[in-house]
Amino acid sequence: MSESQQGKVHTHKEIMIILSGLMTGMLLAALDQTIVSAALKSIVEEFDGLEHYTWVVTAYLLTSTASTPLYGKISDLYGRRIVFQFAIVTFLLGSFLAGASTNMEQLIATRALQGLGGGGLMALTFVIIGDIVPPRERGRYQGYFGAVWGLSSVAGPLLGGFFSDQDQILGIAGWRWIFYINLPFGIAAMIITSAVLHIPKVRREHKIDYIGSVLMVLAVSATLLAVSIYGPQDGWSDPRTIITLTSGFILTLLFLRWESQAVEPILPLSLFKNHTFNVTSILGFIVGAGMFGAIIMLPLYWQVVQGESPSSAGLKLIPLMLGIVVTSIFSGKAITKTGKYKKFPIAGTIIMTTGLALMTTLGIDTPYWQVAIFAAMVGMGLGLSMQTMVIALQNSIDFKELGVATTSNTFFRSLGSVFGTAIFGTILTNRLGHYLVKDFAALGASNPAAVAGFDATKLEGVTNNTSILADLPPLIQQTVLQSFVNSFHVVFVVAAPIIAIGIFCAFKLREVPLRTTMEFREAKEEAAGESLG
């Protein structure tokens, strides 16, 4: 392979065509993180599997998160296109089998297979853009991926609600189409990438770190199981939670020990010597936690407190989506024009923290326009931060480590999403139980007639089934809704300071001049020369 091939710089038209395939794949993976939640009610009713319903979401999140760093390393060794297409095929196979599931066990297993493909789609998209676009020009293109994130945050709950509301479509149960709808889009992504994704593969001697891969997957899986399933479900002091969390910690130490001695580690520990890698990893974790905290808590607030339907709650997330889309595209173009990027994550984390802090003012009758402003602020913060972190990271590392470094950043953001979802969900449930007891006692003290003859044990069921609210007497219903509001306040009181840590991280980010087209070509040729040498 000639140096000119190795150092080829794609035209804008070629990049946009490639982008269409990458964005289609990324949209599928992003949608499947949220689309299932709105259809869970229909699924568990058909399969009579309420006790396993959380696994339908967690199975996907677990395998997609655990596999993310593996894709980066493997694509560094074997080439981007073949690994990206493997992810597409795996995702489509999982989607088809999930739609054809006949019980909860099959659905959980096929969702895990979907996640295995989804992890590659999410991670390799940013890697491939890093392969074909110089850092100085990358902002204008990566802004579009922020738009895809914004779209998926709204389209997921909306489509899930729409399909689950249909008894049948073309003779097939409506909820199954949340999986079957992936097939034509995935096939389109396959065709586009086969036709246009021709990235020269750098030949190099390689050795897959199988033991490191197994240790990493086991460590991540054990930790995520403890944090996202066993802790919230059984309690943090439950023996199963403690054992699983301890196992995750021990496996993590074993993984780090092994990687320090591996010939070709799956996650090179030398990356942690890179200041920008460390800062963007922490920042990604924090932003991921805040993003999913808002995307999950706001629809829940609208549905439970203000009585909106799942589809309506999804539509009301549009301001958050618009915030992400507008600021992603704006910041991307501004970075390309000026070559400066540090100010955007600083502004983004400040705006996002402010938006979450303002959500502590939400009440039972808060007007939509007010919540929409807060949601838009969170979206703006995300749009200014997410893509900028990737640009800063990719600009700071050697070209030969582009894949593993980029997917590791995605991995830490996914971890933040899981931890944020689990922690904020646990806080909501815990505080709700506390406020239900406290507020009901206060109502009884101030208005004994309102609670006379009412069986207080009925309130225990509210934490598991909010449909009970409709059958409660008006005063008691109002009291329960206020308990929910108080609980949401605590969630946002905790979330805002966590995201505020991101402001400190953003200020610590070093502004390194973005590599130009010529410098980018030279870096590619140097990496190719090292691999062939």
Residue 252: how many other CB atoms lie within 10 Å: 17
Exposed e or buried b for every residue in 72-102, given b needs 16+ CB within 10 A? bbbbbbebbbebbbbbbebbbbbbbbbbebe
**CA 16, 19, 24 angle in degrees (round to 5)?**
135
CB-based burial of residue 365 (10 Å sphere; 0-12 exposed, 13-18 middle, 19+ buried)?
exposed
Quick one: pLDDT at residue 2?
A: 38
- Secondary structure (DSSP) of 90-149: HHHHHHHHHHT--SHHHHHHHHHHHHHHHHHHHHHHHHHHHHHS-HHHHHHHHHHHHHHH
| Cα 257 to Cα 251: distance, rounded to the nearest angstrom | 10
| Cα 520 to Cα 504: distance, rounded to the nearest angstrom | 30
Instruction: Name, in order, each residue with C-beta under 8 angstroms of 9's C-beta and a sequence gap of 6 or more.
Output: 132, 134, 517, 520, 521
Q: How far is CA 118 from CA 87, 115, 417, in A?
A: 7, 5, 15
Residue 238: how many other CB atoms lie within 10 Å: 14
Instruction: Name, in order, each residue with C-beta under 8 angstroms of 165's C-beta and a sequence gap of 6 or more.
Output: 174, 311
C-alpha closest to that of 148 among 260, 31, 316: 31
**pTM, to two decimals:** 0.77
CB-based burial of residue 519 (10 Å sphere; 0-12 exposed, 13-18 middle, 19+ buried)?
middle
Quick one: pLDDT at residue 92?
A: 92
The domain limits of the chain are 3-208+264-434+485-528, 209-263
Quick one: pLDDT at residue 531?
A: 46
Quick one: pLDDT at residue 77?
A: 75
Q: What is the mean pLDDT of each run of 10 residues along the chain (533 residues)?
A: 46 77 78 69 63 67 78 77 88 91 84 87 79 71 71 74 76 82 84 73 61 83 78 79 91 90 80 88 86 75 80 79 85 83 91 92 91 92 84 79 76 80 79 84 81 70 67 81 89 88 90 66 51 43
Quick one: pLDDT at residue 183?
A: 87
Task: Name the DSSP letter for residue 264.
Answer: S
**With respect to CATH, is domain 3-208+264-434+485-528 assigned 1.10.10.10?**
no
Instruction: Name, in order, each residue with C-beta under 8 angstroms of 189's C-beta and a sequence gap of 6 or more.
Output: 21, 22, 24, 25, 28, 88
C-alpha closest to that of 279 among 502, 513, 498: 502
Strand partners, 173: 168
| Cα 295 to Cα 447: distance, rounded to the nearest angstrom | 37
Quick one: pLDDT at residue 367?
A: 93
- Residue 83 identity (one-letter amino acid): V
